[in-house]
Amino acid sequence: MEYKQFNILLRFVRLLLFGVLIVACASPGTQPFVAAPALPAPANASESASGEWAMEGHAPDRSRATSDVLALPTRLVSEYEIGGDTQFGSPVGVAQGTLFADGEQLLYALNAADGTERWRFNLPGSFLSPAVAGSRVFVRAEAGADGFIFALSLDAGAKLWQYRFPAVGSSYDNVGGHVTSPLVAENRVLVGAAQSLYALDVETGAVVWEYGLQNPIASSVAVADGLVYVSDFTHLYALSVADGSEKWSFEFDTVSLFFAPVVLADQVIITSFDTAYSLDRRTGQLLWAKQLPDLQIIPAGAYGDQIYVKSTNSLVALDRTSGAELWRYTTLNFISLPAVTEGYLYVIDRYGEGSHLLAIGRTDGQEVWRSEQAQLARSAPTVAAGRLFVRTENGRILGYQ
């Protein structure tokens, strides 16, 4: 084995060993409700229409932040049933009045208002939240050595085209290199597999360009102002959406895997092991690096003046200008990625035999509300269509208002 490959593998083993986090011994107490002050619209205004969550991460910036106004959810108002084992289901998507949710090798399209089924589509293997653009739905699927991206009609779920990737996975114990969550920008479907990022034509699925990474792909993409950001094990790349040409790259120290970079105004945020990096998204210049030595973190979102990162059981807010830690919320066993609104971050808290939906104040990180105990899945909450949607382990989708 070449030295470079051995070094990557060694660093990856180190990542796995340090990834086992110590479970906290005490639960934070529930705080009394305090109304959060109104906040200005986020600097990373969404490209999604108001009331929609049209892709994983909400919008091309992958900030998980919406400017939609949502009162603190105090009651369960809807419950939709798709059935099956959905403990590892993806976050739901909502676009053009339709709610999208994966079941066991099925993609369901439901009426977002009442949960009636509009259509379903059989998919091979596991898949992630789809991306909706115009009259089309794009969803990835992967089973064994086979990986696909499908384009479906929004109105009926008819297959318009499919693309099969030449390879998926990696030689590093099959870690990294798997088909990523798609994003649509400038009439291109941006999706990665194995050691490449692909731009596919929205209409036909033909490859417009392909960019070869130095290592297996380790993140989905984020997009802003004609640049697409994607990571392999050790580098973040900024590429032109139009032609795939590299504008800059940034090498980080420790092998890392995360969902996607997060864009906030002129910054792009990534993480590596216990460190968050803020880069100038146009030039790749390092703005700041913040080490959280007791945590292994991934990017979790951004809103206004705050950047969020998370470990298995902690959610941390960092100042966007300096990287200083503003607050930290820690739970017992597991905390999900958030959905971020004006005043609150909504997360799933799972511990032992129970789970809750929580509202955490954006300004101070204090818990201000929690739902009744429920068997909630690990997937992140979604805010759309005037409601906050979460998933259960046994095939239900709950809506709070």
3-class DSSP state of 215:
coil
Spatial separation of the C-alpha atoms in residues 351 and 15, rounded to whole Å:
24
Task: State residue 83's pLDDT score.
Answer: 87
Domains and CATH numbers, the chain: 25-400 (2.130.10.10)
Give the residue, 347 or 25, on which the prediction is more confident. 347
pLDDT digit string, tens, across residues 68-114: 888 888 899 999 999 888 888 899 999 999 999 998 889 999 999 99
Q: What is the dihedral of CA 352, 82, 151, 156, to 10 degrees?
A: -160
Closest CA to 267 of 314, 213, 306, 316: 306
Per-residue confidence (pLDDT) for residue 256, from 0 to 100: 86
| SS3 readout for 173-184 | CCCCCCCCCCEE
Whole-angstrom CA distances from 112 to 96, 130, 325 are 9, 15, 38
Output the pLDDT for position 50. 61
What kind and span of H or E run contains 8? Answer: helix 3-18
Mean pLDDT of 206-214: 98
Q: Tell whether the model's pLDDT for residue 30 goes beyond 80.
A: no
- Name which residue leads in pLDDT, 5 or 180: 180
| pLDDT at residue 378 greater than cutoff 80 | yes
- Please say whether the dihedral angle defined by the alpha carbons of residues 103, 220, 140 and 58, taken in this order, is positive or negative: positive
Question: Per-residue pLDDT for 59 more than 70?
Answer: yes
- C-alpha to C-alpha distance for 309 and 258, rounded to whole angstroms: 11
Mean pLDDT of the chain: 87
Burial class (CB in 10 A: 0-12, 13-18, 19+), 251: exposed
Which amino acid, one-letter code, is at 368? V
CA distance 265 to 281: 9
CA distance linking residue 207 with residue 186, whole number of Å: 14
Distance CA 309, CA 275 (A): 10
Q: Over 90: is that where the pLDDT of 49 sits?
A: no
Mean pLDDT of 10-39: 33
* pLDDT class of 354 with cuts at 50, 70, 90: confident
pLDDT classification of 12: cutoffs 50, 70, 90: very low
Would you tell me how many other CB atoms lie within 10 Å of the CB of residue 79? Answer: 11
Kindly tell me if the per-residue pLDDT of 243 is higher than 50.
yes
C-alpha closest to that of 189 among 181, 180, 179, 201: 201
pLDDT of residue 48: 56
Q: Is the per-residue pLDDT at 248 higher than 70?
A: yes
Considering the chain, what percentage of its residues have pLDDT values greater than 90? 75
pLDDT, one tens digit per residue, over 264-317 is 999 999 999 999 999 999 999 999 999 999 999 999 999 999 999 999 999 999
Work out the pLDDT band at 13, boundaries 50, 70, 90.
very low
Share of the chain above pLDDT 70, in %: 88
Q: Is the pLDDT of residue 41 over 60?
A: no
Q: What is the pLDDT of residue 18?
A: 35
